[in-house]
Structure 1
């Protein structure tokens, strides 16, 4: 390479460097803003996660403290005094409170505790379904069979995770109303369902035998 070519290359490199510095001076603030934004967003997410974790920890500690009470009435009262900062936390707290109220014999209070969760659009659908199921269970002594049947039928549909538990309750309502044949048919359906848990299948099998039914053989029944 000649001296002339070498000189041209050096000049070209200097021009490129000057252009780069010019671009940095003109547009470097954009990169700075992006970096600050990324770092700030990461910091905010860390803060938010830490805050959510602290709230969950505080709620858990408060519920454990309430459950440490020796008497059913005391546990129910203590849980009633606990508050939750998130819709999900409020749902879990309602389940715990309703359970304690039910054990203390306060069935109507337990149903009232669950009612807001059944209608809340701020909590996941699964939470609403659980609250509805628990509420229907608590109404076994106060609500007529047909009203409860309609409630469980609405849950005994594909796509609802509590579908088979709802079917079990429908079978029990069939027994309550004297329709043992319908109950046996439902229990057999539970035995045949691939999604039924071993515990649920055992209960269905035991109920069928108690009703004088003849369960058809299944691969998982009774396991």
Structure 2
């Protein structure tokens, strides 16, 4: 044998291959299983996305069909017959509560049902409470309405500024004009208050004879000059 080193290298390489094949036969199923899980997981995610899109489409079509009906009772019956789960239930309740002038009792019932539904996101429940207070108006006492609005006006709640606006109106309803003006002035300076709310607050302050301070809240950007 002229090259013993080459022979040894060949034998060593053969041994390595034999060991590799032996390990693959023993543990290769783990790799196959991992691949199956990865591919299966990706397929499941795609199926879930497609199912969610289909579910949303079916729900949207049913809602549009119901809203196209002519009479209020027909629309309400059709909406009530739509199958819904998750936050779709919240959307249906808000739609059922969208016509208080025609059916005040049904509107209040739908809003109360949503406000009491602990399975729904807090934002939907807060919106239902806020809307219900506005629909009730003087039918409920100031103290009752204030008790309902106070939690929604807490920091971090999605409809905080709208609740503060309603609380200012309740203060005015109690005859405390100066306090109401001060509350509205504070809203005008609130960084989270939308432009529409600040505009309403300014109009109310002027109507009540208060002074309007320049707002420090961010203003909408002016459109670019086309010229």
Instruction: State the TM-score, normalizing by the size of structure 2.
Output: 0.89
Unaligned runs of 5+ in 2: 221-227
**Residues in 1 aligned to 2:83 and 2:175: alpha-carbon distance in whole angstroms:** 44
1:142 deviation in Å? 2.5
- Equivalent residue, structure 2, for 1:210: 207
* TM-aligned CA distance change 1:157 to 1:19, over 3 Å: same
1:73 aligns with 2:70: no
SS at structure 1 position matched to 2:91: helix
Write out aligned runs for 1:1-223 (5 A).
Answer: 3-84=3-84, 86-100=85-99, 102-103=100-101, 105-220=102-217
More moved, 73-82 vs 144-153: 73-82
SS at structure 1 position matched to 2:137: coil
More moved, 206-215 vs 74-83: 74-83
Q: Conserved in 2, the CA contact under 8 Å of 1:202 and 1:222?
A: no
- Equivalent residue, structure 1, for 2:224: none
Q: Deviations over 1:47-68 (max 9, x none)?
A: 2221111111111111111111
SS at structure 2 position matched to 1:76: helix
**Residues in 2 aligned to 1:211 and 1:89: alpha-carbon distance in whole angstroms:** 42
Q: Conserved in 2, the CA contact under 8 Å of 1:191 and 1:221?
A: no
1:155 deviation in Å? 1.4
SS at structure 1 position matched to 2:192: coil
SS at structure 2 position matched to 1:209: helix
Q: Conserved in 2, the CA contact under 8 Å of 1:184 and 1:213?
A: yes
**Residues in 1 aligned to 2:139 and 2:82: alpha-carbon distance in whole angstroms:** 28
**Residues in 1 aligned to 2:94 and 2:52: alpha-carbon distance in whole angstroms:** 20
**Residues in 1 aligned to 2:8 and 2:215: alpha-carbon distance in whole angstroms:** 88
Q: Conserved in 1, the CA contact under 8 Å of 2:191 and 2:216?
A: no
**Residues in 2 aligned to 1:222 and 1:20: alpha-carbon distance in whole angstroms:** 68
**Residues in 1 aligned to 2:105 and 2:29: alpha-carbon distance in whole angstroms:** 64
Residue correspondences, number:
219
Q: Conserved in 1, the CA contact under 8 Å of 2:172 and 2:180?
A: yes
- How large is the RMSD of aligned CA atoms in angstroms? 1.9
